[in-house]
Amino acid sequence: MIQTQVTERKTLRVLGVETSCDETGVAVVDADRGLLAHALHSQVDLHADYGGVVPELASRDHVRRLLPLVRQVLDEAGLGLADLDAVAYTAGPGLIGALLVGAGTARALAYGLGVPAVGVHHMEGHLLAPALEAEHPDPPYVALLVSGGHTMLVEVRGLGAYRVLGETLDDAAGEAFDKTAKLLGLPYPGGPALAALAQAGRPGAFRFARPMTDRPGLDFSFSGLKTQVLLAWRRQDPDDGQARADIARGFEDAVVETLATKCVRALDATGLKDLVVAGGVGANARLRALLAAQLATRGARAWFPRPEFCTDNGAMIALAGLLRIQAGERAGLGIEVRPRWPLSELTPPCPAAGQDAAASAAG
Ligand code: KG4
Ligand code: ZN
């Protein structure tokens, strides 16, 4: 007698946990239905008095927020813990204490549920975030990753296949926004505050250098710009609100035009037509408008995840984890995080050595 095996088609649901810095992000993605629910708690108010992230405060707040957020997201998705098939968490790069909160919680949840866990590279999350949107480009594409800690242009050829085309030699673009905002007396985090102030600024009233655009190459340097701003601001009357807004506008234009120039170069160098913008600075409206306009004239296209998926979030970690788990990757049972983890060390997924241990734990 011929045995016919009827296998019921089962989807894959992954919980994603992001705790690498000052945002607690949680989400559930479903292989068939996409993003089911996501929630975020930002610690901005907690760190505002200190002008930057205080690592120990960040870790403690993640401890307080993470499990309530997991419950909230599961409720919104109409799921229980038992409906989860895997747990993904940010394993690095980031603040070690903050990473350990997410990794420890995620691993414990996975172990308790008997499902696999996978550690995700935070930047890979950002690089893949466009796929959270219904309309998105498939690799290969060029990604501009512009956050508080990173500024890089990356050729994305597939999951885990990334080539860094250029990166910043000093400050990240978001860091330059934050530091420049601080010296103009704006609150932390400075990027959105500076962009808002620049709205009232007159274009061209102050013109700052477009660093490293006058020579070939795809690297960036932003630390000199804040010095230019400082010198210009010192020459103004501190009560002159218009001058402050004009300087903010001059700075924003310099950063945005520099980023756009390098993006166009990266597309030329790779022959690719799709540019994905990821990371917190990707929320900048002027950067979005300029890139969209410049690329449209070249038959290329700029893709932006919606702002909540540009900044840190759990959805991008859930998605990256889902893709890696589908490809067979598992983390071992150890709670391992990598505060420093170069993107260039990532490889396409392969069933890891830890898979047997994870599978037997799941077993
Ligand atoms: O990706 P992200 O949320 O966190 C990491 O750094 O990983 O990026 C945060 C950065 C901060 O430097 C913030 O000032 C900047 O993104 N940012 C912006 C804007 N919104 C956030 N910079 C310029 N314009 C914005 N609208
Ligand atoms: Zn980030």
Q: Can you give the pLDDT at residue 360?
A: 36
Which ligand minimizes its atom distance to the CA of 311? 1
358 alpha carbon to ligand 1 midpoint, in Å? Answer: 36
What residue's CA is closest to ligand 1, atom 21? Answer: 280
Cis preceding linkage at 68, omega within 30: no
What residue's CA is closest to ligand 1, atom 3? Answer: 311
Question: For the chain, which residues make up each domain, given as ranges?
Answer: 13-129+310-362, 139-304
What residue's CA is closest to ligand 1, atom 24? Answer: 284
Q: Can you give the pLDDT at residue 352?
A: 55
What residue's CA is closest to ligand 1, atom 8? Answer: 280
What residue's CA is closest to ligand 1, atom 23? Answer: 191
Which ligand minimizes its atom distance to the CA of 146? 1
- The minimum-distance atom of ligand 1 relative to the CA of 284 is 26
- The minimum-distance atom of ligand 1 relative to the CA of 174 is 12
- What CATH number was assigned to the domain covering residues 13-129+310-362? 3.30.420.40
Cis preceding linkage at 351, omega within 30: no
Q: Can you give the pLDDT at residue 351?
A: 65
Q: Can you give the pLDDT at residue 11?
A: 87
177 alpha carbon to ligand 1 midpoint, in Å? Answer: 8
Q: For a ligand 1 pocket test, name from 121, 150, 277, 281 the mutation site with the most ligand atoms within 8 angstroms of its C-beta.
A: 281
Quick check: 86 and 325 in contact, CB under 8 A? yes
Q: Which amino acid would we find at residue 203? A: P
- The minimum-distance atom of ligand 1 relative to the CA of 191 is 14
Which residues in 242-280 are b (16+ Cβ under 10 Å) and which e? ebbbbbbbbbbbbbbbbbbbbbbbbbebbebebbbbbbb
What residue's CA is closest to ligand 1, atom 13? Answer: 191
301-303/274-278 β-pairing: parallel
199 alpha carbon to ligand 2 midpoint, in Å? Answer: 25
- The minimum-distance atom of ligand 1 relative to the CA of 148 is 6
Quick check: 183 and 175 in contact, CB under 8 A? no
Q: Can you give the pLDDT at residue 79?
A: 97
Ligand 1, CB within 6 Å, residue ranges: 21, 147-149, 174, 177-178, 189-192, 195, 279-281, 283-284, 311-312
- The minimum-distance atom of ligand 1 relative to the CA of 287 is 24
Same fold across 13-129+310-362 and 139-304: yes
Which ligand minimizes its atom distance to the CA of 120? 2
125 alpha carbon to ligand 2 midpoint, in Å? Answer: 8
Topology (CATH level 3) of domain 139-304: Nucleotidyltransferase; domain 5 (3.30.420)
Which strands, in side-by-side order, build the sheet including 23-30?
34-42, 23-30, 13-18, 86-92, 117-121
Q: What is the pLDDT along the chain (363 residues), one digit of tens a residue?
A: 444 444 455 789 999 999 999 999 999 999 999 999 999 999 989 998 887 889 999 999 999 999 999 999 999 999 999 999 999 999 999 999 999 999 999 999 999 999 999 999 999 999 999 999 999 999 999 999 998 888 999 999 999 999 999 999 999 999 999 999 999 999 888 999 999 999 999 999 999 999 988 888 999 999 999 999 999 999 999 999 999 999 999 999 999 999 999 999 999 999 999 999 988 899 899 999 999 999 999 999 999 988 889 889 999 999 999 999 999 887 778 888 999 999 999 999 876 544 433 333 333
Which ligand minimizes its atom distance to the CA of 310? 1
12 alpha carbon to ligand 1 midpoint, in Å? Answer: 32
76 alpha carbon to ligand 1 midpoint, in Å? Answer: 27
- The minimum-distance atom of ligand 1 relative to the CA of 20 is 7
Q: Can you give the pLDDT at residue 314?
A: 98
Residues with Cβ within 8 Å of 325's Cβ and at least 6 positions away in sequence, in order, are 12, 14, 85, 86, 88, 116, 118
Which ligand minimizes its atom distance to the CA of 279? 1
